[in-house]
Structure 1
Amino acid sequence: MSISAAFFAQAQDISIIRNSIDVYSNSPMVGSSKFNAMGGANGALGGDANSLLTNPAGLGVAISGGVSGTLSIMGNKNTSSLAGASSSYSNTKGDLGNVGGVMTFQLMTRSAWKFINVGVNFSNQSLDNYVESPGNSNIIYDFPNSTNSSSYDRHAYNRYGNLSKTSIGVGANYNHSLYIGAGLNFLNASLDQSDTASFRSLNSNSTELFSKNGTPYYERSNGFSASLGVIGKLGPNFRLGASVETPTFWNIDKSYNFYNDPKYGDDVGFESNKFTSPLKATVSAAFVATKNFSIDVDYTLGLTKPKYKVYTQTEVDINNFFKDNSKNLSELRVGAEYRVKQVRLRGGYSYASSPFDALTIGRFTNAGTQEEKSYDNLILNNRNALSFGIGYDFKSFYIDAAYQNITSKYSNPFMFGVLDNSTNSAYYSANRTITSDSFIVSDVKNIRNNFFLTFGWKF
């Protein structure tokens, strides 16, 4: 499919597409160190509050209460390459990653219902993401109403903030063979974002910094979803699980800067919107060989496409883009645990597929010419995560640690401008507007190194 210039002129900022998937369609999956070390795979095992991240029926598996808190140190490194040059940037952020607890209520009756348990879980993750792309002196921009031309010097995209999910749920145990559960999820997102570019004058060799029209901007959002799940034992060693999570219904409030508007000049605008993330289903299978070894496999699939409530033609264009070009979100997670007396050894792997089909755009070549090119990894791409961890059980108390490595490579389009001097997608400085109907595209490698430490108490 070809992305039209008109679409991006309406959408104002390609990051709207990125954030729709990367922020609003992906619930935070930062759990305890055990959960993270096992790649987030616990849909058929359950047993603690992190079940609310995958399958609330796992609450019913617990036979004793417990509470835990997890500290996270999340590192994010982006290396952006263009025309034979590279630019890298790393940032590290420490925070409270997860808090969870389960209260068990044993039913002292002759009924086959053994437990009804209540769980609460809070999950929090950083949205920080800074990408600085190097320059290319072969790419020349002309400015209307000026005899000056400038070469592209560099570009910086900066997003920072947090995404959190608070879940409450209930799980029931039927004869230690069937478990059912339900949960309510309350999400909050806070992100600040900027988009700037630097140009070098061909006349004076001086540089000038530009802000993209519509940036910097700020979003404060809240959302709600619900989940249902079931786990069944197929004998003493095998379990199957299934769960469904409704779309997250988001309310998004945004403020943004705009420049050189014919009526308002330079000012700040405000808008609100509603966004619906995809409906998701998860199927799980677990093998519990003994009390010392278990393995779990989860597969999550998005069943619908993301969608904005329509207020203007902008939302129509974005929704049509998702309808025509987005894939159903999918993720495979595998995790295992082995116990040696009081020591727990854990490992996991997860793979999330690319969210978009191949897309064709106009782009600048390294030589500065313009051409049409198809990308199968534009904006976002598939993601691989490898993790491992260790824990020690002091009977009532335990301490766990985990390491997680997440990698992704994608093509990063930016610097698209239009020919008018309005509030559409363009870059501004004073009263001059750069113009181009092509993108600059860099290659970005993203590496995230995350560390987690959990302290827990069982009662």
Structure 2
Amino acid sequence: MKKYICLIGILLFTSTFIVNSQTLADAYRLSAQKINGTARAAAMGNAFGALGGDFTSLSINPAGIAIYRSNEFVITPTARFNNSEISLSGGTFSDDKYAHSINNVGYVGSIKTGLSSESGVVSFNLAIGMNTILDLNQNSFGMFNGSPISFLDGIVNWSNSERLSNSYLNRDIGDIEYRDWPAKLAWETYLMDPVDNSDGEYVNILYENELVDQQINYSYKGGIKEYVFAGGLNFAHKFYIGATVGVQDVDITKYKEYSETLEDNNSFTYYEDNFIKGTGYNLKLGAIFKPVNFIRLGLAFHTPTFFNVNDDMRLTMESQLQESYDHDGLNLYDYGLNSPYKFILSGAVVIKKLAVISIDGELVDYSTMKYDVNNLNFDIKNSFGSAFNLRMGGELKLTQSFSARAGFEYYPSPFNADFDLDETFVSDDNSIYSLGLGYLANGFFADLAYRNSTDTYSLYNPQPNFEDLTLKNSNKQILLTIGFKF
């Protein structure tokens, strides 16, 4: 059977036109956080749950703050290079994006109690700062000429199945249900007409069997920063406990532009501008135990992050027919979301002062994500399951001052095997590889890390006899940490 290709699958994958799927995608996007702090931690796969002594550990296992034996100031500027590829049987389309930011900044204060190191509380430490929790940096572009299916087909099918009346579509857009906005926009831009003056049955302006040329551009930027306030206690250099209060700042911008050119050179363009801002609060508790000097064991628990989110979405459609038309609408809504809880079990081996090997296992139950809208929570429970994330890393002392590092992170897909809610996106597993170098002398340290992450999405196309699409998103980071111990 012949398989067609088109860009409608990508539009559906990234669009609010399929309302429930996008809502699930947003819940997962805010919850599937991958820590991004200092260069040392990044180079070692962020496997710092048992090691501690690095500012990144405050967002993993807060007992890591108790490992510090001196004050510290640290800052990490980061450069990011993103490449996105959309693969069709007709070719591969690639787009690049560069961005830079401050990944991490923090201060740790260590206060000695003056007690014997044999027993009791040797020191208590306090810290304040910021780690990056979610980093979005992506541009994508694709085009396909001669597609037998149009975005307008989906709008017309929806309008007919819902029996949207002419009088309903003539209302002000503020009086139209949000899910019907694409129909309203197509109606106002003369891309959809009633059948023989009927009320509730429509056709689009395309001729029968007309082929269209399609093009899509979309981008993500922003992410989530976590501001941390932490404290920890060191018991005889054997047992460490800590707690972190995390305040997460959500700032995400999504932009989409989809256009079609018809055979008579008429055209239309559909735009989405989405601004997501919010704040989340969580508590992290952790402990680290050294049964012997060269072994460290860590255990941490993260409460859900309780988000309050403001989501502004502007949809615009423009048509270039015999005349030009445009229409838009702005949808503002607030919602609450609870991310999943986390359990982190860690282990590390410290071989004198020559080498370190560390591993973290993180259990996250994504089915416990919860909106303050109950009907969506049923879909979450049916669509998501648990994931066991793995992080591991090592460090080798090259000289008295220089160290080499490497790491690996693995994040399996949390989607249930029978996930089929419109099947507009299926996320594959994600692997991250990292390398780095470090320098430490006279209370000054500088760390450099390279991090390579690739996400692959199989984009299911809901139209019969149409080829599935593949989106590959490669994200390369260069992190430089500068710090002082005093």
TM-score of the aligned structures, taking structure 2 as reference length: 0.78
- Counterpart of 1:392 in structure 2 is 439
The structural deviation recorded for 1:439 is 8.4
Pick closer, same or farther for the CA change 1:451–1:81 going to 2, 3 Å.
same
- Counterpart of 1:458 in structure 2 is 485
Percent identity of paired positions between Structure 1 and Structure 2: 25
- Counterpart of 1:300 in structure 2 is 362
- Is contact 1:133–1:442 with CA below 8 Å preserved after alignment? no
The structural deviation recorded for 1:269 is 2.1
The structural deviation recorded for 1:360 is 6.6
The structural deviation recorded for 1:76 is 1.2
Residues 391-438 of structure 1, C-alpha deviations (whole Å, 9 max, x = no match): 111221111111011112111357x7xxxxxxxxxxxxxxxxxxx799
Instruction: Work out whether 1:335 is the aligned partner of 2:362.
Output: no
2-side partners of 1:52 and 1:221: how far apart? 22
Pick closer, same or farther for the CA change 1:362–1:250 going to 2, 3 Å.
closer
2-side partners of 1:188 and 1:223: how far apart? 7
Unpaired runs of at least 5, structure 1: 364-373, 417-435
Tell me the amino acid that sits aligned with residue 413 of structure 2: S
Residues 161-180 of structure 1, C-alpha deviations (whole Å, 9 max, x = no match): 23201111111111111111
Instruction: Work out whether 1:176 is the aligned partner of 2:237.
Output: yes
The structural deviation recorded for 1:65 is 1.5
2-side partners of 1:308 and 1:179: how far apart? 33
Pick closer, same or farther for the CA change 1:319–1:136 going to 2, 3 Å.
farther
Instruction: Work out whether 1:210 is the aligned partner of 2:277.
Output: no
1-side partners of 2:106 and 2:465: how far apart? 48
Which of 127, 132, 136 in structure 2 is aligned with 1:127? 136
Instruction: Work out whether 1:51 is the aligned partner of 2:78.
Output: no
Tell me the amino acid that sits aligned with residue 60 of structure 1: A
Residues 86-117 of structure 1, C-alpha deviations (whole Å, 9 max, x = no match): 11111111111111221111111355211111
Which of 458, 461, 476 in structure 2 is aligned with 1:411? 458
- Counterpart of 1:347 in structure 2 is 406
The structural deviation recorded for 1:136 is 5.1
Residues 5-60 of structure 1, C-alpha deviations (whole Å, 9 max, x = no match): 9xx988527443333222x1033511111011001011111013222121001111
2-side partners of 1:158 and 1:13: how far apart? 21
The structural deviation recorded for 1:279 is 0.3
Residues 265-317 of structure 1, C-alpha deviations (whole Å, 9 max, x = no match): 74322110000100011000000111121111001111352534344xxx51x
Please state whether the residue corresponding to 2:415 is helix, strand or coil: coil
- Counterpart of 1:381 in structure 2 is 428
Pick closer, same or farther for the CA change 1:11–1:226 going to 2, 3 Å.
farther
- Is contact 2:413–2:430 with CA below 8 Å preserved after alignment? yes
1-side partners of 2:377 and 2:465: how far apart? 22
Tell me the amino acid that sits aligned with residue 290 of structure 1: K
Pick closer, same or farther for the CA change 1:91–1:269 going to 2, 3 Å.
same
Pick closer, same or farther for the CA change 1:13–1:157 going to 2, 3 Å.
farther
2-side partners of 1:362 and 1:85: how far apart? 28
- Is contact 1:28–1:165 with CA below 8 Å preserved after alignment? no
2-side partners of 1:437 and 1:148: how far apart? 20
Stretch of structure 1 that moved more, 221-230 or 128-137: 128-137
Tell me the amino acid that sits aligned with residue 389 of structure 1: G
Tell me the amino acid that sits aligned with residue 371 of structure 2: K
The structural deviation recorded for 1:195 is 2.8
Instruction: Work out whether 1:269 is the aligned partner of 2:331.
Output: yes
Structure 2 counterparts to residues 29-428 of structure 1, below 5 A = 29-110=35-116, 112-124=120-132, 126-135=135-144, 137-141=146-150, 142=153, 144-145=192-193, 146-149=204-207, 150-151=211-212, 153-202=214-263, 204-211=264-271, 215-258=272-315, 266-303=328-365, 305-311=367-373, 316=375, 318-339=376-397, 340-358=399-417, 378-412=425-459
- Is contact 1:45–1:296 with CA below 8 Å preserved after alignment? yes
The structural deviation recorded for 1:240 is 0.8
More strand, by proportion: 1
Pick closer, same or farther for the CA change 1:259–1:229 going to 2, 3 Å.
same
Tell me the amino acid that sits aligned with residue 232 of structure 2: G
- Is contact 1:193–1:216 with CA below 8 Å preserved after alignment? yes
The structural deviation recorded for 1:258 is 4.5
- Is contact 2:111–2:124 with CA below 8 Å preserved after alignment? yes
What is the Cα-based RMSD across aligned positions, in Å? 2.7
The structural deviation recorded for 1:210 is 2.0
Pick closer, same or farther for the CA change 1:256–1:408 going to 2, 3 Å.
closer
2-side partners of 1:53 and 1:138: how far apart? 48
Please state whether the residue corresponding to 1:140 is helix, strand or coil: coil
Stretch of structure 1 that moved more, 436-445 or 157-166: 436-445
- Is contact 2:277–2:311 with CA below 8 Å preserved after alignment? yes
The structural deviation recorded for 1:120 is 2.1
Tell me the amino acid that sits aligned with residue 221 of structure 1: G
The structural deviation recorded for 1:450 is 0.3
Number of residue pairs aligned between Structure 1 and Structure 2: 408
TM-score of the aligned structures, taking structure 1 as reference length: 0.82
1-side partners of 2:129 and 2:23: how far apart? 29
2-side partners of 1:310 and 1:109: how far apart? 49
2-side partners of 1:438 and 1:46: how far apart? 53
2-side partners of 1:328 and 1:397: how far apart? 42
1-side partners of 2:466 and 2:32: how far apart? 27
2-side partners of 1:305 and 1:345: how far apart? 39
2-side partners of 1:298 and 1:230: how far apart? 14
